[in-house]
C-alpha cells in the first residue's frame, strides 16, 4: 500500500518543482505542471516546449486541468499542501504529517494504509451483515406471501 501513496504523490506532483500541483495545467502531450512553473520554464528556455518530452505545445496557453485540480483539492491537505500519510482514528479522517505533528499528537493516529485496510474489512463485515438481514427479510416476506395465498 505504501507504493500506492507514492504513486498518488507522483501523480499529483509537478515535474518542474517536484511539489504538489498549484493551479495545474496540461499540455497537448498530456503532461501536467503548475501553471507558474510552466510559465517560468518557458520564459527561461525561450520556447514553449514540454519540459518532459520536449514536444512543442500546440497551444499558446496550456489547458487548465480542472479534473487534476479537483483531485488535488480532495486528496491534498488544504492547510499544508501535503498528501496525507496518517489516519486520525479519533476524528475519523486522513491527516498530513504536519497536521499529525501539530494537531493530533494526543490522538490515536495510524498509517493510512493500515486504516484503509481496517476500514475495508469493516465494510466487508457490514455488507455481509446487511446481506444476511436482506435474505432473512426475503424469507419472512415469502412466508407471509405463502400464508396469504392459503
The least confident of 8-12, 39-43, 48-52, 106-110 is: 8-12
Domain limits for position 82: 75-149
Question: Alpha helices, DSSP H only, in the chain?
Answer: 2-11, 35-45, 66-75, 97-103, 112-149
Q: Looking at the 3D structure of the chain, how many domains does it have?
A: 2
Number of Cβ within 10 Å of residue 26's Cβ equals 17
Q: How confident is the model at residue 1 (pLDDT cuts 50, 70, 90)?
A: very low
Question: Both 88 and 140 in a single domain?
Answer: yes
Predicted TM-score (pTM) of the model is 0.46
Q: What local confidence, expressed as pLDDT, does residue 132 receive?
A: 93
Q: What local confidence, expressed as pLDDT, does residue 75 receive?
A: 63
Per-residue pLDDT of 46-95, as tens digits, reads 888 998 888 887 666 777 766 666 565 556 666 766 777 778 888 777 77
Question: Both 27 and 83 in a single domain?
Answer: no
Question: Both 94 and 144 in a single domain?
Answer: yes
Amino acid at each position: 500500500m505504501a507504493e500506492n501513496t507514492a504513486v498518488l504523490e507522483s501523480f499529483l506532483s509537478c515535474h518542474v518543482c517536484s511539489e504538489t500541483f498549484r493551479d495545474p495545467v496540461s499540455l497537448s502531450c498530456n503532461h501536467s505542471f503548475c501553471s507558474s512553473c510552466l510559465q517560468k520554464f518557458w520564459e527561461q528556455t525561450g520556447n514553449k516546449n514540454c519540459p518532459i518530452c520536449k514536444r512543442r505545445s500546440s497551444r499558446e496557453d496550456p489547458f487548465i486541468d480542472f479534473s487534476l485540480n479537483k483531485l488535488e483539492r480532495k486528496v491534498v491537505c488544504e492547510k499544508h499542501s501535503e498528501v496525507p500519510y496518517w489516519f486520525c482514528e479519533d476524528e475519523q479522517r486522513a491527516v498530513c504529517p504536519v497536521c499529525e505533528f501539530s494537531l493530533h499528537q494526543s490522538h490515536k493516529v495510524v498509517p493510512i494504509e493500515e486504516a484503509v485496510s481496517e476500514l475495508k474489512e469493516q465494510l466487508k463485515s457490514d455488507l455481509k451483515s446487511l446481506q444476511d438481514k436482506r435474505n432473512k427479510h426475503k424469507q419472512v416476506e415469502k412466508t407471509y406471501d405463502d400464508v396469504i395465498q392459503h
